[in-house]
Amino acid sequence: MKILTRSLVRHAHAIAREVAARVVMLHADVVEEDADLADLIQDVDFRVILVSRRATFQAPEGWGDLCAVVRVPDIPMTRIGQVKVGILVAGAEQLVCSGDRVVCLTGLDGSGTIDTVLVLDLGTEVEMFAGSAADLLPPDVKPTVFERLLTLASELGLEGREGKPVGTLFILGDSDRVLTQSRQLVMNPFHGYPEEERNVLDPRLEETIKEFSAIDGAFLVRGDGVLLSAGRYLNPQSYPAEPLPQGLGARHEAAAGITVVTDAIALSVSQSTGTVSIFKSGKLVTDIQKPRSRGSGDL
């Protein structure tokens, strides 16, 4: 096991105790062998959240409630992207909450070495999260649905569609009110199908969603994952009181606006950069930028 990895994990344990952190979040896929990972978290002796892209990944035996696993999109991410997505998913699953202090350990994708330690105060870390990422989901939204849309949005941002970049928008939750402040731009491709055949949790629907991502307008998704519409034009009756960061366009403005007048959250994929931006209550909660190239040293 690399000396740097073991050293940083050992020091993270000390830091967590000294700063009264509630949890250590460790990106498990950075470590090359699961046996090494088990040794590492044994050294930590602290409540641990393991973040992995592997569907079959399991926590080491014997840790019980002291160790949880969250799964994130299986795409290359920068170090900061890894941390952001890990926090978002952990918050959605109520493993962390606003006010928690979290020590995050991560490293360059595929390097096999943990080389970065971050200490985050959830709810006040404005550089990474403009709002409370740990309390992101509306009450009617299932965490698995948010996680699925985050994966789809991240894949579209990274890969585009058939080699071409696409921009699209997912509006999740509070669907009745969203419908009253939007209208169809084109015929709704999901109209008339049984609900069990148009749920985003069904992997058979993935290619259909990605195909329709090129349509102008937004996807409307109910909190339980049922796709209500694609190609929806958002016409919110109010817009954010504060201007959005420079560089964000009409799609992001619409995403922010609909979250001002409803309890929905919005995930917007930028066609020009591939960045996934997440909005709630009219604010940009966070954005997840794709690496400039696979294997790059981006933070």
**So what's the pLDDT on residue 32?**
64
**So what's the pLDDT on residue 174?**
96
User: Does residue 16 lie within any of the structural domains?
Assistant: yes
**So what's the pLDDT on residue 11?**
84
Euclidean distance between CA atoms 155 and 73, whole angstroms: 8
Contact criterion met (CB below 8 Å) for 183 and 193: no
The β-bridge relationship of strands 182-184 and 101-106 is: unpaired
User: Does residue 70 lie within any of the structural domains?
Assistant: yes
User: Does residue 293 lie within any of the structural domains?
Assistant: no
How would DSSP label each residue in 34-78?
HHHHHHHHHHH-S-EEEEES-TT--PPTT-GGGEEEEE--SS---
Residues lower than pLDDT 50 in the chain: 294-295
Quick one: 283 and 176 in the same domain?
yes
**So what's the pLDDT on residue 34?**
64
Look at residues 133, 168, 196 and tell me which one is the last residue of a structural domain.
133
**So what's the pLDDT on residue 195?**
95
**So what's the pLDDT on residue 213?**
94
CATH number, domain containing residue 169: 3.40.1700.10
3-class DSSP assignment, residue 110: coil
**So what's the pLDDT on residue 44?**
62
Residues in the chain: 299
**So what's the pLDDT on residue 126?**
65
First vs last Cα of the chain: how many Å apart?
Answer: 23
User: Does residue 297 lie within any of the structural domains?
Assistant: no
Look at residues 91, 113, 133 and tell me which one is the last residue of a structural domain.
133
Phi–psi pair at 221, nearest 5 degrees: -125, 125
**So what's the pLDDT on residue 132?**
65
User: Does residue 117 lie within any of the structural domains?
Assistant: yes
- Per the structure, the complete domain to which residue 169 belongs is given by 143-288
